[in-house]
Amino acid sequence: MARVKLSTRRQITIPAETAKRLGLKAGEELELVESEKAIVLVPRKHIPKDQRWYYTDEWQKMMQEAFEDLKAGRMRGPFENAEEFINDLRS
């Protein structure tokens, strides 16, 4: 198992062989995940700026809630057209 050392500036260096195996490049962002006494570094996907909203914690939470509602049958529709949808909203 590779070892790293925390510098006085709280930086670590990822061993070259690990970076190569994982395809990590200089300047790439890693997400830090804490768990009890463990720290896990996860490479972030390169996501176009106009799609980053989808990967926010807030949006992912809303998506999970929507999937739970769908699974529990808390939904309406499907609707054939917008008029049916609007009438359902009014009722």
Helix (H) or strand (E) holding 35: strand 30-35
Report whether CATH 2.10.260 matches the domain 1-44.
yes
**What pLDDT does 45 receive?**
65
pTM recorded for the entire structure: 0.46
Over its length of 91 residues, how does the chain's per-residue pLDDT go in tens digits? 889 999 999 999 999 999 999 889 998 888 888 877 888 888 876 567 788 788 788 988 999 899 899 999 998 989 999 999 999 999 9
What distances in angstroms separate CA 41 from CA 9, 14, 30, 48, 80, one per listed residue?
18, 10, 6, 21, 47
30-56 tens-digit pLDDT = 888 887 788 888 887 656 778 878 878
Domain ranges of the chain: 1-44, 47-91
